[in-house]
Chains A and B, each alone.
Chain A
Amino acid sequence: MRRAHLWIFLGLVILAVFAQVGYAQTPVPTPSDDEVNRIAKQLYCPVCENVPLDVCPTQACNEWRELIRQKLIEGLTEEQIKEYFVLHYGDRVLAEPPRRGLNWVVYILPVVVFLIAVIVTVRVLRSMRKPVSASIVSSSSAEIDEEELKRIEEALKQERE
C-alpha cells in the first residue's frame, strides 16, 4: 500500500514537471508590426541620415525591425531592446538622447535660456513703467506765455522789415 502511494506521488511529480516544461515551451505570439514600430519609432536608422527606423525603407532597416521583433520574441523589454541598439550602434540611434554626461546640456540649456529670457522680459517691462530718468527734467517751458509769444513775433516782424 505504501509502495503504491509512493508510485502515485512520483507519477504526480513527473506530471507536474512535464506540465511546467510544456508551459515554458508555449510559443510566444509573434509581435505585430505595430508593436515593433512602437519601439522602432524611438530609434533611428544607424546608417541613414535622420531617418526614424519605423519609416526607413531600406533593406538594412527592414532587418533591424526584424531584429526588434526577434528580441521581443526572446522576451526583451522595450528598454532592453533600446539598450541593445545603443550597445551595438551607439547613442546616435536613439531619437531622444540618454540623460547622462554632456547630453544633459540638451535638456538643461533650453530651460536655462527660457528662464533668462523671462527674467530679461520682466526687467524690460518693469523699466518701461518706471518714472522718467533723472537726466530728463520736465519743465513748464512748453507753456509759453501769450505775451512772450507776441513779443517774439513782434521782434521777428521788425527784423524782416
Chain B
Amino acid sequence: MNETAVTEPRRLPVWAIVLSLLILLAFLALIGWGLKRSMSGPITVGQKVPEFQMTTFDGESLRSTDFVGKVIVLNFWASWCKPCEQEARELEEAYQYYKDTGKVVFLGLAYVDTEYNSKEYLKKFGITYPNGPDLRTSVSQMFRIRGVPETYIIDQSGKLAYVKIGPFGSTQEIIRVIDPLLSR
C-alpha cells in the first residue's frame, strides 16, 4: 500500500470569517429595519401625532407644535385630483366658521403637485387658510396616506382624533367632527 502526500484542508483566515459574518449581520439588520418600517401601519386614532412642519406657498414656515391646544385640520389634496374639488369649498367654509374662535387651525398640503397648478386651484376655490406643498412628501409619508383627498383631525393634546378618507360631503359633516372636540 502506498500513501500519497497528505495535505491539510485550507481554512479561511479568522478576519475573513468575522468580516463575512459582520456583512451578513449588517445586511440582515438592514432588511429587518426596512421590513419594520414598511410593516408599521399608519398613525391610528388616539395615537400621538409626531411633529411635522410645512412651508406655505407664501413662504411661511409652520410647525404642528406651534398649535398645541388647538384642533388641527390637516387636509391632503392635489390640483389633479377631481374628488378634492368636491370638498374644497366646504373646507374653506368650515375654516371661515371657526376662524374667529382661534381654536381650530386649518392646514392644506398639496400632494405631488406643481406650484403653479396648486396656486390656481386655491384661487379657483377661494381657499384662504394656510396651504403649501408637501415637500419630499414627508408629511404624507408620515401619515401613510393612500391617496387624496384625505383629512386628519388632531385634537388639542396632539392626538389623532379623526381620519377622513375621501372628500367630506358637506360643511356640516366637518363641523360635526370638530365641535365635539372643542367641547371636550
Contact = CB atoms under 8 A, between A and B. Distances in A.
Contact of A46 (B9, B10, B112): B112
A63 B78 CA distance: 13
Contacts of B20: 116
Contacts, number: 62
B162 to A, nearest CB: 26
B14 interface: no
B7 A130 contact: yes
Which interface class (under 10, 10 to 19, 20 to 34, 35 or more) fits A?
Answer: 20 to 34
B79 to A, nearest CB: 9
B117 A63 contact: yes
Interface stretch (B131-139, B151-159, B163-171, B174-182): B131-139
B80 A60 contact: yes
A29 interface: no
Chain A contact residues: over half helix, strand or loop, or mixed? Answer: helix
A57 to B, nearest CB: 14
A133 B7 contact: yes
B43 to A, nearest CB: 19
B9 A133 contact: yes
A4 to B, nearest CB: 52
A9 interface: no
Interface of B: 1-10, 12, 20, 23, 27, 30, 80, 112, 114, 116-117, 133, 135-138, 141
Interface of A: 46-47, 59-60, 63-64, 67, 86-92, 102, 105, 109, 112, 116, 123, 126-127, 130-134, 137-141
Closest 3 CB pairs of A and B: A134-B6, A139-B1, A46-B112
